[in-house]
Structure 1
């Protein structure tokens, strides 16, 4: 009898210990897109960087991260929900594969409010909170910006629908459980917020620390690793403040490389745990090797 050939991938799950805290990368899938949003780089130069990495298209991995700490469970970002087509929106399916349902999550920590990070919060069919028992933790400036009618009136109809309307329909059901923060704040046991401004008004990373070990989950500090690792000056049209976003990225690269800091990102290839190193020709990304143990 011939063995049945596989019809799909195994669930996108990877565990990593940071001291006594376990961080689990959970894939929400991926989204393919073009290079039109790139700024500060000639398109031919961008395409050459993709060719050097043997990448025929711009494919953005979409990663979320579970944090198990002191008997509680947080989820950093919620993925795309139904907004980005069938290759994304896989968070709940992958959580279910390891026995976790929405009601098991104690806190949702958002790096920022963009639809590939916050659009998995609410079931649009009935406005139901998918994470019924979770508080929603997000930078104060995110709430101010995306719920500001004056700011919304400044953008195109497409951006209004994609960013502002989506933010409101996803976040509003959590309005009674929102906990906002500013600057560096402990937002969950062993987890400190880290301001990373520029991409959005309140874009933040989260630093996870335990027993002398540390991980920076840097959100959208890098969108397109094939380009922005080597060219941190390259920005995208959906950076609210492009100059500040580039400056923040450079500062993070300098710190991560000098300190040999472990990082993870929303759009680094899954599972995203990596190091940044600086060489004579610029910065390079070194993905951490897969490990059988949760080192």
Structure 2
């Protein structure tokens, strides 16, 4: 009995060994499947959507520009600035978004800022692609409002073909802004390094003037139901933010009231060299931030990390940025 049992056991173990060897052969990776597919190296389409009461807000990505914030930011010591950037895991040079915002009020399709077009190289100028990816067409935009006439906010007014990029839209900006940037006299007195910025503004706006579509406004004013222009001067003479309100919810599109989320939220007194009037820009930023924190207002920034939408809360002597979280639109399809 023992001899037969041992013999059967040897046969069973031999069969198991053969099966194990066969299984290991089948499971061994082959050269044909060892390599993963090629990496795609592209990002998701550049839009993000949220509801604001009955309004639909779509953040649009125009691209990015590398800004050496370590050199451009001022009113802060170099060691303090390094610490502020390091807290957000950033070095001195920051890949900085350029964002626009498309708001469908149900009555109007309003675009706030139009991106850089072809003025600043290949990493920018994709806002029309982002509009289409978001399910709209540039021809459907009926109102374009510009926070200020720097090229990264206005050059996208003209398409690659040299025609109006938004042919059915009325163009609105503050009169004090257009009076400054479109003035040949002011341009002639400006430093040489600023001449190109005056030219960008003129080249972008002039076709809309010729088409009878350019309508400047003055001061704080209602431009459409639920849309108010809010003067926020300092960065440029007529810099304007745009407030959208629906069913008790408010979003303020800041434009260039802030460039560095890492430094200027905790320290609003920090300015940037691009400001034409830094003391006024700081004063404006402090007032807007205090009001936004108190009222829990949604904020959207042209150079905040995409989608650039969030709220702020007080933290110490400054503020903390609380970005929006990805979520479906409640009630959306």
1:124 CA displacement = 6.1
- 1:231: how far off? 1.3
Is the 2:46–2:133 Cα contact (8 Å) retained in structure 1?
no
Show the counterpart of 1:165: 199
Matched, 1:97 2:133: yes
Cα distance in 1, alignment partners of residues 113 and 61 from structure 2: 11
In the alignment, the residues of structure 2 paired with residue 4 and residue 216 of structure 1 have an alpha-carbon distance, to the nearest angstrom, of 42
- Aligned residue pair count: 293
Q: Structure 1 30/111 Cα, relative in aligned 2: closer, same or farther at 3 Å?
A: same
Relative distance call for 1:294 and 1:75 in structure 2 (3 A) is farther
Say if 2:326 is the partner of 1:293. Answer: no
Kindly report which structure 2 residues correspond to 1:132-143, keeping only aligned pairs within 5 A, or say none: 132-143=167-178
Q: Summarize deviations over 1:11-62 as a string: whole Å, max 9, x none.
A: 1111111111111001111110213222212233222211121012222211
> Could you say which residue in structure 1 is the equivalent of 2:151?
115
Cross-structure match for 1:217 = 253
Structure 2 length as normaliser, TM-score? 0.84
Partners of 1:52 and 1:266 lie apart in 2 by 22
Q: Does 1:235 align with 2:285?
A: no
- Name 1:49's counterpart in structure 2: 84
Q: Which has the higher contact order (CA 8 A, sep 6+)?
A: 1
Q: What CA distance in whole angstroms lies between the structure 1 residues aligned with 2:273 and 2:141?
A: 33
Shift of 1:92: 1.1
Structure 2 counterpart of 1:265: 301
1:283, distance to aligned residue in structure 2 (A): 1.3
Q: Which has the larger radius of gyration?
A: 2
TM-superposed CA distance for 1:123, in Å, is 3.0
Q: Cα 1:37–1:154, aligned 2, differ >3 Å: closer, same or farther?
A: farther
Q: CA deviation at 1:74?
A: 1.2
Q: Is 1:25 matched up with 2:82? A: no
State the 1:272 CA deviation. 1.4
In 1: Cα distance, 2:295 partner to 2:124 partner:
34
Contact residue 50 and residue 227 of structure 1 kept, 8 A: yes
Aligned alpha-carbon RMSD (Å):
1.7
Q: Deviations over 1:162-182 (max 9, x none)?
A: x10100001100012111112
Deviations 1:52-81 (A, max 9, x none): 210122222111000101343111000111
Structure 1's unaligned 5+ residue stretches are none
Per-residue deviation at 1:4? 5.3
Residue equivalent to 1:276: 312
2:115 to 70, 79, 99: 79
Uncovered stretches (5+) of structure 2, i.e. residues with no partner: 1-32
Displacement after TM superposition at 1:187 (Å):
1.3
1:294 positional shift: 4.9
Look up the SS of the partner of 1:277 in the other structure. Answer: strand
Q: Is the 8 A contact 1:23 1:66 kept in 2?
A: yes
- Aligned-partner SS, 1:180: coil
Give the drift of 1:215: 0.9
- Counterpart of 1:13 in structure 2 is 47
Shift of residue 262, structure 1, vs aligned partner: 1.2
Deviates more, 1:202-211 or 1:273-282: 273-282
